[in-house]
């Protein structure tokens, strides 16, 4: 997007930094909140008196809004200061710093992004090593074979007089083990290469389904229009290699069709333009329950939503059943997620919607509004306890949300969370070991 089309984003950034509510700013400049919302999402051009009025309320020069003055850079500097978790940085002078030393500011921002990227890599590798049974078994095979070769080779090299029978046996073992090592190493490299090339490495049925959904951008226009059926889509999907994954995908798409029928695309697009991305209002308008609204929002095309959204669903054991990842909010692939997520809090209070503003420690200072609710899955039964599921919609807070309302710190998983004094900690963090 060109710089001059980002005026709305800069207004949003400045408004959030100032802690001014959208409705309050709109009222002060004499426009509706929904019109300001369109402006902030760069869907309406702005200039003239309205721009001057908005700049005046926000206490900045109009040029700061139209020319940017490196709003994104300033936001990154604030994130870097917040992540440093020390009160040393003069965050109130971030604008001045970026203005006077733009080169150094860029270096700092680049370093901040680089750290975040490396943290994500550590997190992914740690998660995989800990929980990926295929990788663990593969590494075990390689190391065990290497141990056998090393031990056998030492005997052959270091034992002075070895009986011919033993020598032949160890030579044979060495030959077998070296062939095994070659095969297992090749398999391991192929596996890792495949993972590198394919970000959505698959294995469990849920992962195949997530890859399938991601390949379609979580949106199926053919299903929306009734022009397509789930089965041909599933059969044609290269991501769905196992029968189990295809079965899970069928259930997901059946749910998708039901949600789309209850909240057709045209109607929900209009509703969002009218009431904003307010799940309760949308639920009331369509007579739908909150889980359905959350799922529907996560399945909408990008042009309908103000920002990308994330979604995660778990069962009562805490096992993750479905993930729609969102940049900046880490969702561990193999479970053992942070128990402080509202997703899990909701399981303690079924049917009670929970909203928390959260920040994931050790990643960036970006804030997210997490809306969660748990509900009994399936038909009620007098003789059977209900089985609950929980769903959490993750919405990025405009401008990163720095300086806004109270924020609950959460992690992604204990292993990569730097918060040592956490009552919910299950195991030590590898970050505290100096990585």
Among 33, 89, 115, 148, binds another protein (CB under 8 A): 148
Q: Does the protein bind another protein through residue 92 (CB under 8 A)?
A: no
Judged by CB under 8 A, does residue 192 bind another protein? no
- Is the separation of the CB atoms in 371 and 354 below 8 Å? yes
> Which residue, 4 or 427, is less far from another protein as judged by CB?
427
Please say whether the beta carbons of 297 and 394 come within 8 A.
no
Q: Which residues contact 151 (CB under 8 A, 6 or more apart)?
A: none
Per-position b or e across 138-159, b if 16+ CB within 10 A of its CB: beebbeebeebbeebeeeeeee
Nearer to another protein, 123 or 239 (CB): 123
The residue count for binding another protein (CB under 8 A) is: 27
Contacting another protein within 284-343 (CB under 8 A): none
Interacting span for another protein (CB under 8 A) from 107-115, 146-154, 292-300, 354-362: 146-154
For residues 97 and 105, the answer to whether their CB atoms sit within 8 Å is yes
User: Binding of another protein at residue 176 (CB under 8 A)?
Assistant: yes
Write 251-257 long-range contacts (CB < 8 A, 24+): 252/209, 252/213, 252/322, 253/220, 253/223, 254/230, 255/295, 256/220, 256/223, 256/230, 256/295, 256/299, 257/223, 257/230
Among 38, 69, 72, 139, binds another protein (CB under 8 A): 139
DSSP, collapsed to helix, strand or coil, labels residue 323 as: strand
> What residues numbered 398-427 form the site for another protein, per CB under 8 A?
427
- Tell me the chain's radius of gyration from C-alpha atoms: 27
Q: Which residue has the tokens 């975040």?
A: 116
Does 178 bind another protein (CB under 8 A)? Our answer is no
Tell me which of 158, 161, 235, 381 binds another protein, using CB under 8 A. Answer: 158
Give the residue with the Cβ less far from another protein, 161 or 385: 161
- Work out whether 166 is an interface residue with another protein (CB under 8 A): yes
Minimum CB separation from another protein for residue 119, in Å?
A: 19
Q: Judged by CB under 8 A, which stretch of 94-102, 140-148, 184-192, 320-328 contacts another protein?
A: 140-148
In whole angstroms, how close is the CB of 144 to another protein at the nearest point?
5
Rounded distance between C-alpha atoms, residue 185 and residue 176, angstroms: 14
376 pairs with which residues across the strands?
388
Smallest distance from another protein to CB 331, Å:
22
For residues 388-427, one letter each, b for 16 or more C-beta atoms within 10 angstroms of the residue's C-beta and e for the rest, the string is bbbbbbbbbbbbbbbbbeebeebbbbbbbbebeebeeeee
Site for another protein contains 179 (CB under 8 A): no
Catalogue the E-assigned strands of 126-257.
Answer: none
Closest approach of another protein to the CB of residue 141, in Å = 8
Q: At 410, which helix (H) or strand (E)?
A: strand 408-410
Contact string 96-135 vs another protein (x = CB under 8 A)? ---------------------------------x------
Which one among 107, 136, 273, 284 touches another protein, defined by CB under 8 A? Answer: 136
Q: Which stretch binds another protein (CB under 8 A): 85-93, 97-105, 145-153, 242-250?
A: 145-153
The single residue among 84, 85, 125, 143 that binds another protein, judged by CB under 8 A, is 143
The Cβ-side half-sphere exposure at 61, using a 13 Å CA radius, reads 7
CA atoms of 35 and 43, how far apart (whole Å): 9
Q: Binding of another protein at residue 140 (CB under 8 A)?
A: yes
Q: Is 168 an interacting residue with respect to another protein (CB under 8 A)?
A: no
Chain residues that interact with another protein, rule: CB under 8 A: 129, 136, 139-140, 143-152, 154-155, 158-159, 166, 169-170, 173, 176-177, 427-428, 433
């Amino acid at each position: 997007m060109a710089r001059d089309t980002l005026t709305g984003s800069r207004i949003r950034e400045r408004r959030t930094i100032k802690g001014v509510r959208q409705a309050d700013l709109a009222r002060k400049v004499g426009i509706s909140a929904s019109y300001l919302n369109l402006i902030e999402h760069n869907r309406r051009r702005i200039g003239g008196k309205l721009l001057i009025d908005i700049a005046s309320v926000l206490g900045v020069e109009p040029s700061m809004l139209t020319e940017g003055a490196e709003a994104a850079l300033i936001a990154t500097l604030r994130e870097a200061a917040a992540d440093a978790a020390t009160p040393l940085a003069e965050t109130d002078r971030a604008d001045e710093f970026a203005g006077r030393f733009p080169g150094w500011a860029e270096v700092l921002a680049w370093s901040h992004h680089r750290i975040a990227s490396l943290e994500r890599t550590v997190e992914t590798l740690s998660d995989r090593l800990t929980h990926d049974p295929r990788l663990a078994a593969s590494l075990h095979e390689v190391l065990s074979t290497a141990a056998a070769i090393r031990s056998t080779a030492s005997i052959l090299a270091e034992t002075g007089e070895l009986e011919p029978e033993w020598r032949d046996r160890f030579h044979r073992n060495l030959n077998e083990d070296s062939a095994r090592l070659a095969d297992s190493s090749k398999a391991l490299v192929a596996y890792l290469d495949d993972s590198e090339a394919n970000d959505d490495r698959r294995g469990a049925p849920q992962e195949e389904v997530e890859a399938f959904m991601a390949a379609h951008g979580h949106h199926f226009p053919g299903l929306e229009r009734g022009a397509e059926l789930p089965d041909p889509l599933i059969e044609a999907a290269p991501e769905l290699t196992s029968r189990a994954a295809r079965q899970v995908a069928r259930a997901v798409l059946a749910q998708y069709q039901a949600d789309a029928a209850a909240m057709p695309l045209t109607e929900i697009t209009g509703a969002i333009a009218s009431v904003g991305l307010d799940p309760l209002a949308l639920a009331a308008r369509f007579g739908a329950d909150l889980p359905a609204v959350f799922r529907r929002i996560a399945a909408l095309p990008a042009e309908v939503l103000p920002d990308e959204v994330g979604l995660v669903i778990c069962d009562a054991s805490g096992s993750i059943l479905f993930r729609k990842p969102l940049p900046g909010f880490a969702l561990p692939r193999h479970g053992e997620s942070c128990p402080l997520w509202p997703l899990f809090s909701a399981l303690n209070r079924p049917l009670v919607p929970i909203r928390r503003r959260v920040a994931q420690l050790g990643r960036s200072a970006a804030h997210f509004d997490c809306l969660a609710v748990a509900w009994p899955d399936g038909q009620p039964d007098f003789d059977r306890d209900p089985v609950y599921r929980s769903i959490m919609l993750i919405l990025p807070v405009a401008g990163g949300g720095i300086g806004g309302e109270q924020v609950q710190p959460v992690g992604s998983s204990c292993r990569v969370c730097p918060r040592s004094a956490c009552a919910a900690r299950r195991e030590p963090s590898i970050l505290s070991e100096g990585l």
